[in-house]
Amino acid sequence: MAELATTPLTGKALLQKVKELSNVPRRETAKACGYYTTTKENKVRVNLADFYDALLTAKGVAIESPKDGRGREASYRVSVHQNSQIVIGANYTSELGLTPGDEFEIKLGYKHIRLVKVENGEIESESVVS
């Protein structure tokens, strides 16, 4: 059996060790690369999930999404609520750089609603909501 690593291998060292142990079962390979824990009863538990994650990272495959995982992604669609209101979410207002208190002139068109920002009584820019 291969010598056990005390700390989990990463990067090129992990890839090299996996290549050396290509004929060994995957649990033994993960264990030899340091991806295991020992329980109170001195039983060895192999952590394959962390082993696979480290292997993918070493090969250059991004497994983490760039988002922080909180909240929802903008769908760029709104619906009319039961009280006949249309609510535009914070993700849209922050994307447009809007702040509380900004005022808009509402222009109704054929199959669209146009919001025109009003600054000091003057129309500044237009945003279209279809």
Residue 99 pLDDT > 90, yes or no? no
- Quickly state the pLDDT bin for 5 (edges 50, 70, 90): low
Query: Do residues 84 and 51 both lie within one domain?
Result: no
Query: Do residues 47 and 90 both lie within one domain?
Result: no
Evaluate whether 104 touches 87 at the Cβ level (below 8 Å). no
Tell me whether strands 44-46 and 112-119 are parallel, antiparallel or unpaired: unpaired
Q: Is residue 65 part of a domain?
A: no
Report the pLDDT value the prediction gives residue 7, as an integer from 0 to 100: 84
Query: Do residues 51 and 20 both lie within one domain?
Result: yes
- Quickly state the pLDDT bin for 83 (edges 50, 70, 90): very high
Query: Do residues 123 and 74 both lie within one domain?
Result: yes
Mean of the per-residue pLDDT values for the chain? 82
Please give the structure tokens belonging to residue 18: 């996996």
- Quickly state the pLDDT bin for 66 (edges 50, 70, 90): low
Q: Is residue 3 part of a domain?
A: no
Q: Span 56-82, mean pLDDT?
A: 77
Please give the structure tokens belonging to residue 78: 């709104």
Q: Is residue 86 part of a domain?
A: yes
Report the pLDDT value the prediction gives residue 82, as an integer from 0 to 100: 92
Q: What is the pLDDT of residues 8-53, one digit of tens each?
A: 888 888 889 889 988 989 899 988 888 898 888 988 899 998 999 9
Residue 13 neighbours by CB distance under 10 Å:
14
Q: Is residue 123 part of a domain?
A: yes
